Amino acid sequence: MKMSSALIIIDMQNDFCHGGALAVKDGEKLVGPINDAQERFDTIILTQDWHPEEHSSFASNNSAEVYSNIEMDYGSQILWPDHCIQGSIGANFHKNLNTNNSNLILRKGCNPKIDSYSAFFENDKTTTTGLEGYLVKKKIKRLYLCGLAFDYCVFYSALDGINLGFDVFVFQDLTKAINLKNSEKLARKTMIEKGIKLINFI
Ligand code: VGL
Ligand code: ZN
């Protein structure tokens, strides 16, 4: 791929794979093809969901049901099972993911008060992760997204990417959805409406 493109691999971590705290069905099956996709790119970015134990997006910290919604200062928030706790095995990348070629590993969701689905902004939609600056300085114009989960972190990263003026492509065969309340369909529809291109790697 050209110098002006980047592959952004979202949250390929144990907790989103088989046996993990927030497992996405067949998530681990993406590892091999994502490793293959890396061979086509000069710039590779990995994101890592990286929450403190007291994170406000955990149902356990709100005495509430898993997958219920609460209102935060920044809007509605789904309450998740405890996952991707900083330094835990669940937060590690899947053991077969090739991490040798990555230029940047971006950790997100570190602020206990704000969740962060997108690789660009926390869920308050204003606190930046710094990724935009990194890509702009490297003159990257086109983003190719893959990883977990299609309807949360991949979706919100793709939306922010296009809103920031990048060309955004999602490898739909290198991502899998959690699919709460039709979220997979809604994510796909919104992406298409916004001009995000859903393409296949294989
Ligand atoms: C994710 C829910 C909570 C994701 C992360 O990677 O899609 N989803 N934290
Ligand atoms: Zn998370």
Per annotation, catalytic residue among 11, 115, 151, 160: 11
Q: Is 11 a catalytic residue?
A: yes
Verdict on whether the full-model pTM lies above 0.95: yes
Active site residue 29: no
If you average pLDDT over residues 92-97, what whole number do you get?
98
Would you mind telling me the total number of residues written for the chain in this entry?
A: 202
Give the pair of three-digit tokens for residue 136.
């702009």
Domains present along the chain, CATH in parentheses: 2-51+85-199 (3.40.50.850)
Burial classification of residue 164, based on how many CB atoms lie within 10 Å of its CB (0-12 exposed, 13-18 middle, 19 or more buried): middle
| pLDDT tens digits for range 138-169 | 999 999 999 999 999 999 999 999 999 999 99
Catalytic one of 15, 82, 84, 108: 108
Burial of residue 130 (CB within 10 Å: 0-12, 13-18, 19+) is exposed
CA proximity to 77, closest of 103, 29, 116: 116
